[in-house]
Amino acid sequence: MHNCSNVNHRRRWRHDVFISFRGSDVRHTFVSRLRAALRREGVTSFADDDSRDLPRGENLKEAISRAIERSRLSVVVLSPNYASSKWCLDELVHIMRCCTSTSRAGHVAIPIFYHLSPEEVSGCYKEDLDRHKRRHTYERVDGWLRALAWIAGISGWVFPAAACQ
């Protein structure tokens, strides 16, 4: 767990947990069970797949960035297809900034390696990142690579290992 704790920032938290995940991999399985377990314990969570969490008429990217900033911690579910989504990668960059910025001290990141290990992160995502390199700027892809390396270096949980597809 990476902790940038500062008690003066507790008042700004709207959610206890922001969950970053690739919907097609884990929305109806792991994430739905995780959110139910958190609810049972009285922990508020934000996930962009729940219409109750996203205000209608707002810019989606801005609403998600604000939700990350207003959450005490982020759980990043790194599944085999996580890096195929530029949305997930942009979330991860913002999470990294919140954890490493002194002006946003207090944010914590917890990775969950779902069907891959921390050591597999760069290899599993190579094909997706190569595709992104053809469509996006060097700076954007480089930010994603740095964020992936950062999150892979944080101690988290590894769920049943299956080699990357």
The predicted-structure confidence for 22-67, as pLDDT tens digits, reads as follows: 987 887 788 888 989 999 999 989 887 655 556 677 788 888 898 8
User: For residue 6, what pLDDT band results from cuts at 50, 70 and 90?
Assistant: very low
Alpha-carbon span 83 to 60, nearest angstrom: 19
CB 149 within 8 A of CB 74: no
What is the end-to-end Cα distance of the chain in Å, rounded? 27
Alpha-carbon span 88 to 86, nearest angstrom: 5
Burial of 4 (0-12, 13-18, 19+ CB in 10 A): middle
Task: Mark whether 120 is an active-site residue.
Answer: no
User: Among 147, 128, 127, which residue's Cα sits nearest to residue 139?
Assistant: 147
Ordered by where they begin, the domains of the chain are 2-159 (3.40.50.10140)
Q: Which residue has the higher pLDDT, 100 or 49?
A: 100
Of the given ranges (29-43, 44-58, 73-87, 117-131), which has the lowest mean pLDDT? 44-58
Which among 91, 119, 120, 127 is annotated as catalytic?
A: 91
Average pLDDT over residues 122-146: 94
pLDDT of residue 48: 73
pLDDT of residue 103: 63
pLDDT of residue 125: 93
pLDDT of residue 4: 44
pLDDT of residue 9: 43
Q: Where are the alpha helices (DSSP H) in the chain?
A: 23-26, 32-40, 60-69, 86-100, 121-124, 126-135, 138-152
Residues in the chain: 165
Residues sharing a CB contact under 8 Å with residue 53, sequence separation 6 or more, in sequence order: 46, 47, 67
pTM of the model: 0.85
Q: Helix, strand, or coil here: 78? A: strand
Residue 75 reports pLDDT greater than 60: yes
pLDDT of residue 58: 73
